[in-house]
Amino acid sequence: MILDLAEKAVNYALNFGAEYADVRIEKIKVTSIKYSQEKFDVASSGLIFGVGVRALVNGAWGFAASSLIENEEENYVKNASRLAVKAGKAASLHSKKEADIVLLKPIKDEDKIVVKKDLSLISIKEKMEIPINIVETTKKFNKKIVSASALYLDECGEKAVATSDGAKIINELSRIYFSVKAVAKEGEKLTSIHESEGFLSGFEIFDKIDLRKYAVKAAEKAVKMLEAKPAVKGRFKAILDPKIAGTFIHEAVGHACEADYIITNQSILCNKLGDQIASEQVTIYDDSTLNGGWGSSKYDDEGVPTKKRVLIENGVLKEYILNRETAKKLGMQNNGGARAASYAYKPLVRMSNSYLSPKDFSFEELLEAVKEGIYVKGSRGGQVDPAKGVFQFSAEEAFLINKGEIAEPLFNVSLSGSILETLKKIFAIGKDIEHHPGFCGKDSQFIPAGDGGPHIAVQEIIVGGKI
């Protein structure tokens, strides 16, 4: 059993000289399928088996990771523990030896998931039908849809976390993600829209959901955007839909609350706990315990129980996202925010499900409140410099708001601004809320993280687009 193996690795690390060690072992099966233009660009499955050992030695960290081979795993694990301690010793030579962590009471637990259709027993052929179905439905929607592509990803298996302060956690994984991209064309004009969904579930989820819904949504929007005019530019009052509001919350606020950025002075939220940094209506959570949440887990990758973190409450900055080390350094209560992309990466301070809490405006009331401005929907992604406090996102769809009503569509709208100024300019918050699955990247580690929120109205935002 991989938990026993992880415990052995912890003991090896202690014997080699670690003061503290944590170990993660993963044995999982993954599937990735990409279907576009009536063919599969990717249809592959893989068997992943590996160990990651982190050792604290003389106030510095060593980390070692290794792929594992069945029947020889104990030798590999022992070697990884040896290399981790050796690396930690070497790092400590010129280190300030300041690394230290919060220790916890021993805990032994399981984070199980009940599935009806085990992903590892479903043939890849059956999984390949999912993207085909989505793509076919998308293409049939309208003659203007010239192409469509879809992605299907899943993983299932077990992950063990063991630490030298006695955490022994076994986590069962079963995760499914799919997305569709619809491309519409009229004359020379091309538009594309992306819809995605993710579940912590077995394959039975496809008996419950209607795949058509995602296909039709993507197709409908792509066709609508064909009517779009070139984007306006300048400063505008704006309504952000739950997707782009979620992206803003995640990219601009969530990352700035990550305590490693706080410690290295790379966040604009340094030394701001207790300050009013947003308008009073703004309450933002990062919740690892969100039921069925895409980024949810009962324990983090340092074996620490997770929780619902209140990042901003009524505009006041309340809490950072912490791991064992940043909690120690800042003298704060650890809130279980350490996550790693896989066994091969050391855990970092990460978000789980970050979202803006809904208030009381209906969508019509938001339109009325904005009167003249733009309505931006969906996100093609974006980037943030947490040190400078600036963000930039590209929207999927955008519309002018004219006399309190949605008017003509605009294409190529990108938003940018200062994070702190924008937070203070949120003046009305909707009562709807949506959560969306995503993959968040930090230091080359991509992990599943959810984001969400209601529709929000912002006093002013910079619209770039093409001029």
Judged by beta carbon, residue 57 or residue 428, the one nearer another protein is 57
Please enumerate in sequence order all residues whose Cβ is within 8 A of that of 156, keeping only pairs 6 or more positions apart, or say none. 28, 29, 115, 118, 119, 120, 173, 174, 175, 202
How far is the C-alpha of 183 from the C-alpha of 195, rounded, in Å? 12
**Please, what is the Cα angle at 328 between 335 and 258, to 5 degrees?**
50
Q: Which of 414, 435, 436, 450 binds another protein (CB under 8 A)?
A: 414
Gap between the Cα atoms of 90 and 364, Å rounded: 62
Q: Give the one residue of 163, 179, 192, 296 binding another protein; rule: CB under 8 A.
A: 192
Min. distance of Cβ 279 from another protein in angstroms?
A: 22
Q: Which of 140, 318, 380, 431 binds another protein (CB under 8 A)?
A: 380
C-beta closer to another protein: residue 289 or 445: 445
Is 99 a binding residue for another protein by CB under 8 A? The answer is yes
Report the residue from 14, 48, 104, 310 that binds another protein according to the rule CB under 8 A. 48
Binders of another protein among residues 424 to 443 (CB under 8 A) are: none
At 396, list the tokens. Answer: 């999927």
Q: Tell me whether residue 90 or residue 113 sits nearer to another protein (CB atom).
A: 90
Cβ 75 to another protein shortest distance, Å:
13
Q: Which of 159, 176, 152 is nearest to 28 (CA)?
A: 159
Site string for another protein, 118-157 (x = CB under 8 A): -----xxx--x-----------------xx----------
Spatial distance between the Cα atoms of 463 and 236, rounded to a whole number of angstroms: 7
Binding to another protein, residues 55-94 (CB under 8 A): 60-72, 83-84, 86-91, 93-94
Cα–chain-centroid distance for residue 196? 13
Nearest one of 288, 331, 295 to 310, comparing CA atoms? 288
Tell me the residue type at 175. Answer: R
The minimum distance between CB 278 and another protein, in angstroms, equals 20
Nearer to another protein, 133 or 418 (CB): 418
Q: Which of 11, 142, 392, 402 binds another protein (CB under 8 A)?
A: 392
Cβ of residue 390: shortest distance to another protein, in angstroms? 5
Residue 140: both structure tokens together: 């049939």
| CB contact set of 76 (below 8 Å; sequence gap of 6+) | 51, 66, 67, 68, 69
Binder among 4, 98, 210, 408 for another protein (CB under 8 A) = 98
Which lies closer to another protein via its Cβ, residue 94 or residue 105? Answer: 94
**165-173, 316-324, 400-408, 457-465 -> range binding another protein (CB under 8 A):** 457-465
| 50 counts as binding another protein under rule CB under 8 A | yes
Mapping DSSP onto H, E and C, the string for 288-321 reads: CCCCCCCCCCCECCCCCECCEEEEEECCEECCCE
**How many Å apart are CA 191 and CA 223, to the nearest integer?**
8
Sequence-separated (6 or more) residues with CB below 8 Å from residue 140 = none
Among 159, 393, 423, 424, binds another protein (CB under 8 A): 393
For residue 450, the minimal CB distance to another protein (Å) is 20
Considering only CA atoms, which of 290, 262, 274 is closest in space to residue 357? Answer: 290
User: What part of residues 268-297 is at the interface with another protein (CB under 8 A)?
Assistant: none
Kindly state the smallest distance separating residue 66's Cβ from another protein, in Å: 5
Nearer to another protein, 42 or 113 (CB): 42
Strand 348-349, strand 338-339: pairing: antiparallel
Report the site for another protein in 318-377 (rule: CB under 8 A).
344, 346
Q: How far is the CB of 403 from another protein (least distance, A)?
A: 27
Cβ 128 vs Cβ 35: under 8 Å: yes
Structure tokens at 159: 């992950």
Query: Which is nearest to 317 in space by CA: 260, 360, 268?
Result: 268
Helices 73-92, 2-16: inter-axial angle, 10-degree rounding: 40
Tally the residues of the chain. Answer: 467
Q: Total number of residues binding another protein (CB under 8 A)?
A: 81
Segment near another protein (CB under 8 A), from 16-24, 155-163, 193-201, 263-271?
263-271
Report in angstroms how near the CB of residue 234 gets to another protein at its nearest.
8
Residue among 116, 143, 371, 466 that touches another protein (CB under 8 A): 466
User: At CA 157, angle to CA 155 and CA 161, rounded to 5?
Assistant: 115
Q: Which residues pair with 287 in a beta bridge?
A: 308
38 touching another protein, by CB under 8 A: yes
Ranges within 216-255 binding another protein (CB under 8 A): 233-234
Closest CA to 246 of 449, 463, 448: 449
Please report how close the Cβ of residue 392 comes to another protein at its closest, in angstroms: 5
- Site for another protein (CB under 8 A): which residue of 15, 75, 362, 383? 383
